[in-house]
A and B are shown apart, each in its own frame.
Chain A
Amino acid sequence: MNIFDSYTNRVKNALQQSRASRLMSESYSNFTGADTLVKARPAARLSGRMSMQPENSLLTLDHVITRPDTSNAQIGLHPDFRHLKGTDNQEYHYITSAFIDIKGSTNLNDNYDKETIYTITNTIQSAAIHVCLLFGGHIQRLQGDGVFVYFGGKNISKVEAVKNAVTATAMFTYFVQNDLQRLFEEDGVENICTRTGIDFGDDDDVLWANFGVGNCTELTTLSLHTSLAPKMQSYAGRNGIIVGQHVKDRLQIDEKSFDLVRDSKGEVIKRYIYEGRKRNFYYTQYRFNWFNYLKSLPYIKADAQGNLYVVSQEEQEQERLAKLRSSATLINSGQAYTDKAGNITSNSEGIKNQPHRFHYE
């Protein structure tokens, strides 16, 4: 996906440098002083460290989302609840929790040196962080290669928070499944993938508070649904996203986008991610068809090879103008109908538009 090109190129460069170094060390291995040459490699390397500012390619999203100010973003410090940090105060407020894990990075050890692995894994993790930040996510915690993110806050609707979580993680999953996979295949590295769990806890179910002692504290949430996100992730297949019932309810999209979690034979393996027998509360998890969801977004298109990309602003405006002109043609031909949602259409189930001329007296 074009929005991740900067990250793909970083990984590509790291892999190319690694191949070049490997060739060099093999060529010089019979000469005295080869050790010195090999040790000198890191100085010429690309820095693996990245800033909070998303890379340029991700900024292609600027015309489709309102980019939040991420310059002061801090890990584990959601700005809407930072007043609770270091206090005994507590607050109830909804949140969407997402846990994105990156699997298979240990396989890199067979192929690359530590500096290269650092650049690769840090770039992948940075891509996850940046795309989440752009969609209003707040990074709560890094767990190994994984990222735990909150979506939502006091000035965003619950539905928007859920949509943002799903969109950001779906885009990241596409990046890992396609762009990264192609790069690693050239080196024969397999099994790099991502797995994600997302759940939503409502206002009466999520307690924000300061946990820990002294300087060892964390501002975080106490909620069944925050805990379920990482648990669901463990049921996701390669490059899969599992969502809780509350996420499904709020997304309000086609039922076909969700399926129960099944094994390779199609048998349901874990319908309820939580079974509270005492409360008689059974909570369902779903495998989410994130690819179809991405394709349904108005600013995502597929190229001739079927690769998804985010359309440019110009392309989006042209497409919009084409839709408007199509409506105008229908109107001016006298064949227009207006449907219940207010769209101009040729479908005769709507109200037939009557001829008229705009005027101004």
Chain B
Amino acid sequence: MKESFPFLECTIIKDVLVCVGWVQPDGCKDRYKIKIEYVAGHEPRSTILYPKIEPCRDIHMYSNHSLCLHYPPDMWWNERINIHEYTIPWVLEWIVFYEIYLLNGNKWEGRQSPTHFTEADQNINRNID
């Protein structure tokens, strides 16, 4: 992990690999502080610690500021999947699409799961979420 992404500081706390770091992909206005928590065999939890972002479904962010980066039926997570090859690049993609979302009138331009936007979704008041 450190070799691929030196901006991350990684430690193991009670069998949980915790990686924290600041990053600002090219073109982004803000620096982001990200945290990845990984228990072997389980899908990692990726959280945006900074800046403070209002979570919502549109940006694939849960109320605890963690991200939903992939649709499980596309690939069921297992212990052979390397997080430096999957999770970290996906978090950086999330940052890129989030910055575009802020500039383009709140449209998510990344690929989304088929269940994310259904016809029914179009009509709900998202504030209820």
Contacts and interface: CB of A to CB of B under 8 A. Distances in A.
A340 B89 contact: no
A344 interface: yes
A361 B94 CA distance: 17
Contacts, number: 123
What bracket does the count of chain B residues touching chain A fall in?
A: 35 or more
B57 interface: yes
Q: Closest 10 A-B residue pairs measured CB to CB?
A: A323-B27, A342-B23, A359-B113, A338-B89, A359-B71, A324-B27, A356-B70, A358-B60, A353-B89, A343-B26
B84 A351 contact: yes
Given A324-B100, A353-B93, A332 B4 contact: no
B50 interface: no
The listed residue with most B CB atoms (<10 A of its CB), out of A320, A327, A357, is A357
Interface residues of A, number: 30
Contacts of A327: 25-27, 96
5 contacts: A332-B111, A344-B96, A351-B89, A359-B116, A361-B68
Interface of B: 4-7, 23-29, 57, 60, 62, 68-72, 74-75, 84-86, 88-90, 92-94, 96-97, 99-100, 103-104, 108-113, 115-116
Contact of B7 (A321, A332, A341): A341
Interface string A192-230: 000000000000000000000000000000000000000
Contacts of B103: 317, 320-321, 324
Q: By DSSP majority rule, is chain A's interface helix, strand, loop, or mixed? A: mixed
Contact of B115 (A322, A324, A354, A359): A359
A338 to B, nearest CB: 4
Nearest to B57: A360
Given A331-B96, A340-B6, A353-B89, A359 B68 contact: yes
A331 B99 CA distance: 14
Nearest to B67: A358
B89 A359 contact: no
A238 interface: no
Given A358-B108, A358-B113, A344 B70 contact: no
Interface string A302-342: 00000000000000010011111111100110001010111
B88 A328 contact: no
Interface of A: 317, 320-328, 331-332, 336, 338, 340-344, 351-361
A327 B27 CA distance: 9
A353 B69 CA distance: 13
Contacts of B4: 340, 351
A354 B85 contact: yes
Nearest to B75: A356
A227 B24 CA distance: 39
Contact of B96 (A328, A340, A352, A357): A328
B55 to A, nearest CB: 10
Contacts of A323: 26-27
Nearest to B27: A323
A358 B62 CA distance: 12
A351 B85 contact: yes
A207 B17 CA distance: 46
